[in-house]
């Protein structure tokens, strides 16, 4: 009986180990994106994806993910001293939060030339 139980445990471990090594997460976001954060992706096309996001009023949590190879930032106009997310290379993630009242805010990349090339978006806080 002990041999049968041992074989069953070994078989279960052999199946479970490769599955656990696959990793991944259920929310579709990067593994470094905090749960509940609004995710914005910076691309080499000097764009944010999406370029319009929304969040409830109060503490707004944002995550900036680099989908390319060039550095980007995300700052909110009027709140540049309160929050600045920075990503340097492919796969980088930076996150942070700040408290915002209901309204419409512009977020942009402050790397030289990026905002002028159209790298900005709208954050609607409701």
User: How far from 8 is each of 12, 26, 74, CA to CA, in Å?
Assistant: 6, 29, 52
Residue 74 near residue 64, CB atoms below 8 Å: yes
What's the predicted TM-score (pTM) here? 0.75
Is residue 25 over pLDDT 50?
A: no
Is residue 87 over pLDDT 50?
A: yes
Computed over every residue of the chain, the mean pLDDT equals 83
Residue 46 near residue 22, CB atoms below 8 Å: no
Q: Where are the domains of the chain?
A: 28-125
How much is the pLDDT for 32?
86
Residue 107 near residue 38, CB atoms below 8 Å: no
SS3 78: coil
Q: Into which CATH architecture does domain 28-125 fall?
A: Sandwich (2.60)
Q: What are the residues whose beta carbons fall under 8 Å from the beta carbon of 20, sequence distance 6 or more? A: none
The residue ranking higher by pLDDT, 18 or 96, is 96
């Amino acid at each position: 009986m002990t041999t049968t139980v041992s074989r069953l445990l070994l078989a279960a471990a052999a199946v479970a180990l490769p599955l656990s090594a696959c990793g991944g997460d259920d929310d579709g976001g990067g593994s470094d994106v905090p749960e509940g954060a609004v995710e914005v992706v910076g691309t080499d096309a000097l764009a944010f994806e999406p370029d319009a996001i929304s969040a409830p009023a109060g503490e707004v949590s944002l995550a900036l993910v680099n989908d390319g190879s060039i550095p980007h930032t995300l700052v909110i106009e009027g709140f540049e001293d309160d929050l600045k997310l920075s990503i340097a290379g492919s796969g980088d993630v930076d996150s942070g939060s700040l408290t915002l009242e209901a309204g419409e805010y512009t977020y942009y990349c402050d790397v030289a030339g990026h905002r002028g090339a159209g790298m900005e978006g709208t954050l609607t806080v409701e």
